[in-house]
Structure 1
Amino acid sequence: MGVRRAVAVGCGHYLPARVVENAEFEKFVDTSDEWIRSRSGIERRHFAAEGEKTSDLAIAAARMALDDAGLQGSDIDALVLATATPDQTFPSTATRVQAALEMGEGFAYDVHAVCAGFVFALSNASAMIGSGQANRVMVIGAETFSRILNWEDRTTCVLFGDGAGALILEGADGDGSSADRGVLSTVLRSDGRYNDLLYVDGGVSTTGTAGQLVMQGREVFKHAVSKLAAAGEEALESAGLEVDDVDWVVPHQANLRIIKATAGKIGLPMEKIVVTVQDHGNTSAASIPLALSVANSQGRFRKGDLLLMEAIGGGLTWGAATLRW
């Protein structure tokens, strides 16, 4: 039986100009390059310039994706932007990107699932294409986490960075098998009982301020490996695939130890894992599309390759997706 698949036709990314090496943190918190590297694998990250907004990062990544696909903004039917650091409380940051790209008609909205946001947005986009509601959907992950960091907390301020990544999906008919190109399966999960493991201590209806990031790192690590591995295995099973079918894993770039532990639990060698955390840090919802675009620009993906993407973030929220390139 034929199905409508969401096929990747273009991707792009953007990183702010300012590069912050680990050594910079030694000036104002009790830390060191060795301490940061050994616990996270991070060597540097990018921070947005003063006045540079999440929408600015998203727009730059979106334009690169349009160029990669040979399309214009007016060719896009819908835009889904995953972010936990929007420009404004409302309207959505996605509508600012929509205007900048001159999409004209169509619609745009934000998705908020923190670090798992891109997987949630990808699932939304795939469903819209599968149902016929849209034919071309741009999915973006964009963050300026530097705006919500506690610069006195050495356990969190060294981990995060700013950036954006974009992926354009287009409808194409498939035969319904795992050999089809496009998004083959998505798995979405959340459990609000773990809210206090990773959160921001502010908000419109509580403090009236943006707040700062708070994380219980050890507890998050414990949940991350098991939940990411389980979601990845479920996504493969849902698509009728096995671990041996995977050509590349594009994981959420939170921590190198989590990436390695999850790969080991699933049973995949590190040679199949796209790793960019050393250069970007944790860019939350932007990390998967950012890593995806960087790897694609390096020529690592070939048509027909099977990609497994998985992420976990505050909520807790987590999920996974399979995509045949």
Structure 2
Amino acid sequence: MADVFISGSGVFTPPHVITNDELVASFNAYVELFNAENAEGIAAGEIVAKAPSSSDFIVAASGIEQRYVMDKEGTLDPARMCPRYAPRADDEPSLMAEMGCAAAKDALAQAGVVSSDVDLVIVAASNMERAYPAMAVEIQQLLDAGGFAFDMNVACSSATFGIQAAADMIRGGSATRALVISPEVTSGHLEWRDRDCHFIFGDVATAVLLEAGDIAQNPQFKVLSTACATQFSNNIRNNFGFLRRAHDQMDDRRDMQFMQNGRKVFKEVLPLVSKHIKSHLDREGVVADDLSRLWLHQANKSMNDYIGKKVLGREPEAGEQPNILQDYANTSSAGSIIAFAKHSDDMAAGDKGLICSFGAGYSVGSVIVERV
């Protein structure tokens, strides 16, 4: 059975930044408009007045200071409060494919591999731009890669589940080089008009190249082990889909976007993730002190701090558990990969680390790696 290595990683960062102050100014302008337009209903008790947001509230709730987006103007328009993407012709590269290719090219360059030598492309992300043809097959064509390609969605755990799928296929001999690409246009499924979640997400794309050990020319990390788990929950949900659209709910934008019961998620996911990581480490004979780095899903700073402390049995030291939340916000499946790509170059040969994601489903995915 072939050894599997991560030989390259890449991050595509969108061109536009929205700071908390900019977001709050736009949101509060929307709130003023809403409350003014619905003044009579609010006075009669028929409509609940919307409350303003603040930068202090956002930082305290999440640790987020800014986010990157593919469209800033539409998102910050108080009369719109959602991004505006111009339709593309069917013969033009789609938005997600364009983003995914940019991240993939960085990963390939880092590994010293040409795209035609890739024989598996997996696009693992929370929300696909379309149902079919698969985004992965489009990216495969744009990159001139070989083999086969497919999409997969396990929400915020998509990237780690994709890494396990790719690693298993390489070990099994059905692939030799695999790109796991996570283009996350989260701005399109976020309700920017909801105070409880309007600050959470940002756009990004990541890519990881995995190779069989006998052909890897520039291996960075050996994949020692992977573990995935799911447990059904409605506490994080997105109802968008053709069945919903067919049920005369075209005007109910809120029903077809990101929704969560934050308190229940916090209460239920933290012990689930901590137990999963500990079980994975125990199964592989790895103790917490063996880990030089934890690259956790970037959902919420408080969640990451809790999990890091629970896994390590102490407060993580500076650099042990890098956060990118303050710059990128929650980027769904891509978050842990951004942390890995940007905070792994300083590790020495033999150092071990753990990539972990968690989210809707519930889903948890973990990957134990060792620096070559």
TM-score (norm 1): 0.91
Note the 1:54-69 alignment, pairs <5 A. Answer: 54-69=96-111
What is the rounded CA distance, in whole Å, between the counterparts of 2:134 and 2:351 in structure 1?
Answer: 34
What is the rounded CA distance, in whole Å, between the counterparts of 2:330 and 2:98 in structure 1?
Answer: 19
Which structure has the greater CA radius of gyration? 2
**1:185-220 C-alpha deviation (Å, 9 max, x unpaired):** 22211112x1x2011132122235682111111111
What is the rounded CA distance, in whole Å, between the counterparts of 2:307 and 2:335 in structure 1?
Answer: 16
> What RMSD over aligned residues (CA atoms) do the two structures have, in Å?
1.8
Question: Which residue of the partner structure matches residue 6 of structure 2?
Answer: 8
Question: Which residue of the partner structure matches residue 79 of structure 2?
Answer: none
Q: Percent identity?
A: 29
CA contact (8 A) 2:269 2:362 kept: no
What is the rounded CA distance, in whole Å, between the counterparts of 2:228 and 2:351 in structure 1?
Answer: 23
What is the rounded CA distance, in whole Å, between the counterparts of 1:132 and 1:242 in structure 2?
Answer: 31
What is the rounded CA distance, in whole Å, between the counterparts of 1:181 and 1:149 in structure 2?
Answer: 34
What is the rounded CA distance, in whole Å, between the counterparts of 2:174 and 2:283 in structure 1?
Answer: 23
One-letter amino acid matched to 1:241:
V
Question: Which residue of the partner structure matches residue 241 of structure 1?
Answer: 286
One-letter amino acid matched to 1:168:
L
What is the rounded CA distance, in whole Å, between the counterparts of 2:269 and 2:282 in structure 1?
Answer: 20
1:228 Cα shift? 1.4
Matched, 1:287 2:309: no
Matched, 1:41 2:79: no
CA contact (8 A) 1:181 1:304 kept: no
CA contact (8 A) 2:127 2:153 kept: no
CA contact (8 A) 1:260 1:270 kept: no
TM-score (norm 2): 0.80
Question: Which residue of the partner structure matches residue 183 of structure 1?
Answer: 223
Matched, 1:144 2:166: no
Note the 1:96-115 alignment, pairs <5 A. Answer: 96-103=138-145, 105-115=146-156
Note the 1:110-121 alignment, pairs <5 A. Answer: 110-121=151-162
Gaps of 5+ in 1: 174-179
One-letter amino acid matched to 2:57:
W
**1:160-179 C-alpha deviation (Å, 9 max, x unpaired):** 11101111111116xxxxxx
Q: Does the residue aligned with 1:205 lie in a helix, a strand or coil?
A: helix
What is the rounded CA distance, in whole Å, between the counterparts of 1:181 and 1:70 in structure 2?
Answer: 15
1:261 to 296, 306, 324: 306
- Quickly say closer, same or farther: Cα 1:157–1:54, change in 2 above 3 A: farther
Note the 1:1-325 alignment, pairs <5 A. Answer: 3-27=1-25, 28-29=27-28, 30-49=52-71, 50-51=85-86, 53-103=95-145, 105-172=146-213, 182-192=222-232, 194=233, 196-208=234-246, 211-267=256-312, 269-271=316-318, 272-296=320-344, 299-325=345-371
What is the rounded CA distance, in whole Å, between the counterparts of 2:267 and 2:114 in structure 1?
Answer: 44
What is the rounded CA distance, in whole Å, between the counterparts of 2:144 and 2:350 in structure 1?
Answer: 32
1:109 Cα shift? 0.9
1:81 Cα shift? 1.4
Q: Does the residue aligned with 1:259 lie in a helix, a strand or coil?
A: helix
What is the rounded CA distance, in whole Å, between the counterparts of 2:349 and 2:100 in structure 1?
Answer: 26
One-letter amino acid matched to 2:142:
A
User: What is the count of residue pairs matched by the alignment?
Assistant: 312
What is the rounded CA distance, in whole Å, between the counterparts of 1:108 and 1:16 in structure 2?
Answer: 25
**1:99-131 C-alpha deviation (Å, 9 max, x unpaired):** 11111x201111100001111101101101111
Higher relative contact order (CA 8 A, sep 6+): 1
What is the rounded CA distance, in whole Å, between the counterparts of 2:298 and 2:114 in structure 1?
Answer: 30
What is the rounded CA distance, in whole Å, between the counterparts of 2:163 and 2:279 in structure 1?
Answer: 17
Q: Which has the higher strand share?
A: 1
Gaps of 5+ in 2: 29-51, 72-84, 87-93, 215-219
1:181 Cα shift? 5.5
1:95 Cα shift? 1.2
What is the rounded CA distance, in whole Å, between the counterparts of 2:202 and 2:329 in structure 1?
Answer: 5
1:300 Cα shift? 2.6
One-letter amino acid matched to 1:183:
V
